[in-house]
Structure 1
Amino acid sequence: MVADLPVGCDLKFGFVTGFEDEIPIRTKADLAMKYRYDSIWTGDHVVVPVPMVDCFQQLAQFAALTRDILIGTSVYILPLRHPIPVAKQITSLDQLSEGRFIFGAGVGGEFPEEWAACEIPVEERGARMSAALPLVRSLVRGQPTRGDGHFFHFPETTLLPASYRPEGPPVWLGGSAGVALRRIARWADGWVGYMKTPDEYGEGLEVIATEAKSCGRQFEYFDAAHLLCLRIDDSNEAAFKAAKEDVGFGMAMDLIGATRQHAALGRPADVAEQIDRYRRAGLRHVILETLGHQDREEQLVRFAEEVRPLLR
């Protein structure tokens, strides 16, 4: 038990496909199986300054190319969409993967231009998230669902087929503000942290535990995940130099200044030590975002061969 949340003991590892990722999907699937990664993840944006393939279509290919690896979105910008077509995509992917899909969702906001392009006010993203999430959870379970709120109005609707699992796929939410953590405590099965130090990550879990208790929710299991930027190199300085060339492009936030504190950089032992700090704070599912787009595949191989053995 960490922060009064049942997070378990085992440490799992996955990786997220990158922006401008030139590694073929089959190669990434083969790498995940060969090096025993537990999960493969895709990010989601509609309008970004670099090529980015639709997340659900990527995951459908990963589902076909793998057998026992979890697949998920980290994270899907739910407030940009209507809940019914989203729920249809979720149930389809959960069926195709035979119950291996994890729906990770967040409010986004890093690229304001995509909100303008989709004609949705960016300042509504939190409220839309809170409105859409319970509708999606009901729809994917095959329950008759009606939209009668401020943002979504639709008659009673039942989606068939429902998800592969009767309870629907696990829902992991991103976010770190108080309202986001309260939303996680009320509606989610897990948390995907991002750009948090180990101490900050542990504090976030504490908030979720407290909020869950206050709303009378008890978890049988809670998935504590974190999207962790990774760069293995000969030194911390060399790792940071490569990392800062690959982080924060086009975003309405400063990620370069935060990279030193929140990423796992340096030699294999340095990376393992940083991850162990997160583990002691409660992290149980590490989602790696490799930095340095020229050698993403090599970074994932090095992590599996040189870092993971140090974490046993």
Structure 2
Amino acid sequence: MRFAVSYGTAFNGTDPDRLVAFAQHAENLGFEALYVQDHIALYPGADYGAGPLPPTLPYLDPLDCLGFVAATTHKLLLGTGVLLLPYRHPVVLAKRLATIDILSRGRMRLLTVGLGALPKEAHAMGVDFRSRGRRTDEAIDVLRLLWEGGPEGVGYHGEFFDFDDLCSYPKPHETPTLPIHIGGSSAAAAVRTGRRGDGYFAGGRLTEDERDRQIELARKTAVEAGRDPAEIEYTRWGSAGMSLEDVENLADHGVNRLVVGFAGADPAQQHDQMSEFAERFHLSPIATA
């Protein structure tokens, strides 16, 4: 099992020193990656199903955060949980992601994308809330097309994106394309994973049986699409207090990675929780030589 940490600026604040200290402590303890969350804009009454979101929550831009973290760490992988893909143009995004990957020497490898659940956020970005799934599918295809395209240029003609003879350079660091994981809890997210995803980051409030059906749907869809289902990574949320038995049970369900959030208004308390967790699961830092 691989373990990553989640850092939510909406709840931990926007102090850059606190973010850097959190990321460096996670790296020093042996956590694989740091994930950050995403919202472009909130509004009074915003509710994504688990309760209202105060409109004053300070969500920093996740890609700017990850670029900042990359400059202060050495081995920590960079992840989003999740980036709201339908609200970003894939031509611009291809450049931004490749830039972070190059500057971090190949650590922008846990990009997880989702649709978003706030209708007014979609409307503010000029996106029809009902079309965001189709837009996301096209955006994934465009990202990969641009990363893999050569100097002769590539073209795409879809419902939302249309261009000819386009070149996007530089390319990601030492790889033809970046992995794209799919976040969500719906059958549509599972199907999208099977057709297009390199991984599935299960969200929502589902039972274990429902989650099993989702990952099996993703794998079944991968087979139908001519893809290898064994190559789909399975990520889930974990908790600071989980036991070895909890982790072993999730591993039995096929989970490869757990993303853990550590609460606490006091940074020192957060660090102590992370240290205790790392000791409990015998994490060890990766050499940075």
Q: If the TM-score is normalised by the length of the shorter chain, which range does it land in?
A: 0.7 to 0.9
SS at 1:41 equivalent: strand
Q: Pick from 294, 297, 300 the counterpart of residue 265 of structure 2.
A: 294
Contact map agreement 1:41 1:72 (CA 8 A) in 2: yes
Confirm or deny that 1:60 pairs with 2:67: yes
Amino acid at match of 1:83: P
Report the alpha carbon displacement of residue 131 of structure 1 after superposing the two structures with TM: 1.4
Q: Residue 184 of structure 2: SS of its match in structure 1?
A: coil
- Counterpart of 1:81 in structure 2 is 88
Pick closer, same or farther for the CA change 1:210–1:220 going to 2, 3 Å. Answer: closer
| In the alignment, structure 1 residue 71 sits paired with structure 2 residue 78 | yes
Q: 1:146 maps to which residue?
A: 155
Alpha-carbon offset, residue 53 of structure 1: 1.0
The answer to whether 1:15 aligns with 2:5 is yes
Secondary structure of residue in 1 paired with 2:156: strand
- 1:271: how far off? 4.3
1:221 aligns with 2:231: yes
> Which of 277, 282, 285 is the equivalent residue of 2:249?
277
> CA 1:285/1:306 → structure 2, altered by over 3 Å: closer, same or farther?
closer
Report the counterpart of residue 51 of structure 2 in structure 1. Answer: none
Q: Match of 1:301, as an amino acid? A: D
TM-score, with length taken from structure 1: 0.77
Alignment of 1:107-146 (within 5 A): 107-109=115-117, 111-143=118-150, 144-146=153-155
> Residue 100 of structure 1 aligns to which amino acid in structure 2?
R
Q: What amino acid maps onto 2:99 in structure 1?
A: S
Q: 1:277 to 1:197 in 2, by over 3 A?
A: farther
Query: Tell me, which stretches of 5 or more residues in structure 2 are unaligned?
Result: 43-54, 284-289
Q: Is the 8 A contact 2:235 2:255 kept in 1?
A: yes
Q: Tell me if the contact between 2:223 and 2:229 (Cα under 8 Å) persists in the aligned partners.
A: no
Any residues of structure 2 matched to 1:169-180 within 5 Å, and which? 169-180=178-189
2:201 alignment counterpart: 192
Tell me, in whole angstroms, the C-alpha distance in 2 between the residues paired with 1:38 and 1:310: 13
Instruction: For structure 1, list consecutive stretches of 5 or more residues without a partner in the other structure.
Output: 1-10, 233-267
Structure 2 CA distance for partners of 1:197 and 1:182, relative to 1, 3 Å? same
Given that 1:271 and 1:307 are in contact with CA atoms closer than 8 Å, whether structure 2 keeps it comes out as no
Q: Deviations over 1:97-154 (max 9, x none)?
A: 1111122111111x32211211212111111111111111111234433231111122
Amino acid at match of 2:260: L
Separation (CA, whole Å) in 1 of partners of 2:234 and 2:135: 24
Aligned length: 262
CA distance in 1, matches of 2:251, 2:195: 24
Assess, with a 3 A threshold, how the Cα gap between structure 1 residues 310 and 15 changes in structure 2: closer, same or farther. closer
- 1:224-239 pair list within 5 angstroms: 224-228=234-238, 230=239
Q: Kindly state the Cα deviation for residue 307 of structure 1 after the two structures are TM-superposed.
A: 6.7
Contact 1:142 1:163 (8 Å CA) reproduced: no
CA distance in 2, matches of 1:156, 1:297: 52
Amino acid at match of 1:20: F
Distance 2:212 2:271 in 1: 26
Query: Which one-letter code corresponds to 1:207 in the other structure?
Result: L
Q: Of 30, 34, 39, which residue of structure 1 is paired with 2:28?
A: 34
2:177 alignment partner AA: G
The correspondence for 2:113, drawn from 89, 94, 105, is 105
Paired AA for residue 171 in structure 1 = I
User: 2:5, 2:33 within 8 Å by CA — same for their partners in 1?
Assistant: yes
Distance in 2 separating the partners of 1:89 and 1:120: 21
2:271 and 2:248 map into 1 onto residues whose CA distance is 18
The residue number in structure 1 matching 2:280 is 309
